[in-house]
Chains A and B, each alone.
Chain A
């Protein structure tokens, strides 16, 4: 993380050196920046809620002042664990990851299509609606309108708003794609397109079919026998659990994962100035991932009240996931590490985040692989290991990709530099150690918890399992606290940067102290860095 001496390049600016790319970046400036700013706000909100929720389950002596919050959660339904926890997860998955993901997707689509974005105002409206939908949904959960269907907790009234928002997104995205020019980056774009196709497919199907659930009470109230009617609808009985498993894993592996991978396949070669290592495997990796990854849904079905053959077939498919994971790991980790070596250690701001993301992707893939082994799944199925798996995707892989992406993109949108190398360093290390410790705690804790839950001694009870789990949970909460400090630092840094930028816009002149960081300058030959593709 080098700090460039400011005076030398003070008037160089930060926009892309390629005027075509600079024009593209300028065209997406407002919607993308707005999605970044709002998403980081949800990140902070979600993390605070998560820390609060998990501390509620700890004994009151462990944290000073905790009894106050526990009392609050007992007296007031708003603050009960079963509302705060899903609100936290939704704030992180939709408010943070999906909002920032949409911003990144817009930018990446425009870049890889080599065209300025179509209808940016519509996009901006989309981001606004999206945020309104999330705020409504979270409020609904707190008010007790949660459906308790994992990742689809948002009540119907907010789902509508999210639908409108996505439609508003879809128009400019589609328009931009239609206006594409040849010469873009195929591989990054393929990943991106998968994500952009999967999200509406998942969200529409999930919300509609599980929405049928709400029909049964209405029908029985109207005197219609609810079972004969709604029993045959897809959203009834254990089909609800099945659909939800399909949805949750789809969001992780077909929306967040491909989106993050698209960005990595675009940025890693660009920043390192190297072409993708083992690039010939990238296509295989892509297609095997798209076919196999959604089968990870059966991880939530093993042993449950579902048809056994579906589970068996699913475990075979999801067990093959090591193929794309290995290839993607070779591609991305290989290239990123080679790039870091070339730059000298910590030679940049962006690349460390991206190579960390690539490593966490492999870790997440390994955890999916573990859950595909039937006996391991039986052990870990209901423990904190599952939480660890979701954390790996959302907090680990996707967040690091998004941070790296933002460190790269925001200076190019604003033509303005980050303010402090120290803050970036603090963010990096807080997130690095935070996530590593959380994963260690939840992963190892999951195994210990599972060994107790699945103990064949009849005297072992759930209380014993909780005693085992507790210390791991407490440690994990503290590490989430560490991550949240990192995210808080990032939020403040971004805010500071935008405010300074606004100041000079108003003043109309550049500041002498303006340039602090140019992440990749000097490490990559300018022309080829924009051209390299896999």
Chain B
């Protein structure tokens, strides 16, 4: 291309192919995905998906900083494209009626409140889309993060002890001190408590629960903000 007349054509053709790809792969989906709003249920003030708390947003950063995404996905594929539902990763208790279960794939609308989205590309660990379903309270999650080997002795899930501090008990034992037994137990007079980072991480993990239905399950929804379900 070094003789001049051809260079322009070459240059434009290369740029055109970049833009072709960019247009159809990025811009076109964006016209669909970029403006998704939560859905308001008819005759109620509830919206789905639920908004996420500030603590959970702070937890996103801890999740990012410690690279959980290199082993965990947060996307449940449809039954037709994988065994995610069979693994139980798409199941959560219905938030509006806790006797019912919602089992479904993930939709783009599930992620609209998250500042940082961790879809992930590797499943060394379980999918965490509905992790709150499997860890009903913060205490269990703290203990799991402190020592994953409790549940599985040869787990490859790393222990996150640096998210906790061991401190001397002064007066009362702290409310969120971990119940640890065996080798993990701190010496008498000491307790292990979660740091602020651990607290927001766990708040974030507990926000990961998709026990609601979306109109998207019935088919594509127009991109414009809608107030109907």
Contacts and interface: CB of A to CB of B under 8 A. Distances in A.
Contacts of A86: 67, 70
Contacts of A304: 75, 77, 106, 119
B158 A77 contact: no
B196 interface: no
Interface in B46-80: 57, 63-71, 73, 75, 77-78
The size bracket of the interface on B is: 35 or more
Interface in A4-51: none
Interface residues of A, number: 96
B101 interface: no
A193 B10 contact: yes
Contacts of A314: 25
A238 interface: yes
Contacts of B81: 302-303, 374, 378
Of A56, A232, A233, the most chain B CB neighbours within 10 A belong to A232
Contacts of A374: 81
A177 to B, nearest CB: 8
Given A75-B161, A85-B70, A238-B117, A454 B82 contact: yes
Contacts of B28: 307, 310
B115 A216 contact: yes
A226 B115 CA distance: 9
Interface of A is mostly: helix
B29 A382 contact: no
B65 A145 contact: yes
Interface stretch (B30-38, B135-143, B172-180, B186-194): B30-38
Given A80-B67, A305-B111, A466 B156 contact: yes
A76 B34 CA distance: 39
B86 to A, nearest CB: 6
B88 to A, nearest CB: 8
Contacts of B26: 234, 239, 242-243, 246
B167 interface: no
A213 B121 contact: no
B37 A227 contact: yes
A412 interface: no
Contact of B123 (A238, A453, A460): A453
Contacts of A81: 67, 70-71, 158
B162 A74 contact: yes
Interface stretch (A194-202, A263-271, A358-366, A514-522): A194-202
Interface string B98-119: 0000000111101111111111
A381 B123 CA distance: 9
A394 to B, nearest CB: 15
A239 B29 contact: yes
Given A231-B34, A382-B120, 13 more contacts: A74-B162, A80-B158, A82-B65, A148-B64, A193-B1, A194-B14, A231-B37, A241-B117, A242-B33, A287-B17, A294-B18, A295-B21, A458-B86
24 contacts: A74-B159, A75-B162, A76-B162, A77-B65, A80-B67, A82-B70, A86-B70, A144-B66, A146-B67, A147-B116, A148-B65, A148-B67, A180-B2, A227-B37, A237-B117, A291-B17, A304-B77, A306-B29, A314-B25, A381-B82, A383-B123, A453-B83, A455-B83, A455-B86
